[in-house]
Chains A and B, each alone.
Chain A
């Protein structure tokens, strides 16, 4: 199939899906009052801004925790490996909603974080919780990237007299960095989506505003269709970026080896 033809097919499929969605929307009982959502555009955009800020903070925390946990997992210390493994398993084995309840109702309350953060407590605690959540997934991504580096690279580095840590730092990690970008962007997308749960504890991110619109005007369709579209505004560019990076990377990987 030529590239042009492929693009045509893909375009047609997307159009068909959009048309199907339009049909579903037309089945809404009664008129959808889009104007109600439009009237609240400033609120929605402010909420989207907070969603982006909180998600960025969470990605930052997640990166730090994820890299540390991954390094623990590839270290030769059994204790460190077990710490990393426990963190990853506990976080990945429980739903984020439950973690959020624990963070907000138990941990933040026990640590009296309200005194420290005041009215921003819910947003800050939520971002931390989200970061810890994302960190566990990032840890696995980073560990996977480290382990994907050819065994020979390790051996070559060690045979040149580098220690385990030096080999990791100067040989293995630099090669991981590029390979990591696409899956990390995927984790960022997942963090953006999970941040919608923060609306439950009163964080005024975008889902919170959509729920308020629905609750006041009883306009469910406009509220949640616009909400979904606005999430896509954030996540789609990230996803497309990932795909482009993956394609470029695939090209580079195909090059003859050893550019070190």
Chain B
């Protein structure tokens, strides 16, 4: 019994020690399953547009930045719980999310697209082919794709997956008719499954990606100032958009 108590005490001490080490770093939460915005490289490090952007911000405010990956739907709850200090994960600014988090200025604009299964949807068909009640649409949990699929295709059966790759696999395998998701990913996914998928030519609106901070965060002014300076043509954001998405002009966030 005494040994057990000693062991438990040791564990608590260990935990306390881990806390005091590096508590000053800015912990950025992300879902590292969203290339090219964030994913895990072969050596285990996180890389992508959002990772570079937050590193640059960290250098700007002279603070170390560490990243922590989890499921997309876990990001906002973990921000609220104080487990992470910011979210940089290709997250769209939406009114609903703005009730619970504080969004920075947008740093990128990406259209929402529709990827369809060539097995399930006729070659020339457009969005109207997805309006029936026998249509299955795959989306990722808590993404704007989920919201848009529900609004645009109220009759369809919306199937929600935890991860992009799983939702996309359903379309490639012909188990779902379509995936509603961001256009950058859809282009990548189509390249992965060129024969079994097709991109529908119509976009479902534009999303603005922003960093999410806890409500009332003191970091907001510095982050907004940084983004305002760097989203100008030729700034750091342009450089990163060109590096990771191959086109700064098309994805630059223009509003504000």
Contact = CB atoms under 8 A, between A and B. Distances in A.
Q: B interface, by DSSP: helix, strand, loop or mixed?
A: mixed
Interface string B41-61: 111100000000000000000
Contact of B18 (A43, A119, A214): A119
Contact of B165 (A39, A43, A209, A215): A215
A114 B83 contact: yes
A34 interface: no
Given A64-B4, A202-B69, A220-B169, A116 B163 contact: no
A118 B15 contact: yes
User: Looking at chain A's contact residues, is the secondary structure mostly helix, strand, loop, or mixed?
Assistant: helix
A36 B40 CA distance: 12
A151 interface: no
Interface string B135-168: 0000000000000000000000000001111001
A147 B55 CA distance: 61
Given A121-B83, A200-B162, A216-B35, A116 B15 contact: yes
Interface residues of B, number: 37
Interface stretch (B74-82, B124-132, B176-184, B240-248): B74-82
Interface residues of A, number: 31
A118 B69 contact: no
20 contacts: A46-B44, A114-B82, A117-B15, A118-B23, A120-B15, A120-B18, A124-B15, A200-B70, A200-B71, A201-B71, A202-B69, A202-B70, A209-B40, A212-B32, A212-B40, A215-B35, A215-B163, A215-B164, A216-B35, A216-B41
Interface of A: 36, 39-40, 42-43, 46, 64, 105, 109, 114-122, 124, 200-202, 209, 211-216, 218, 220
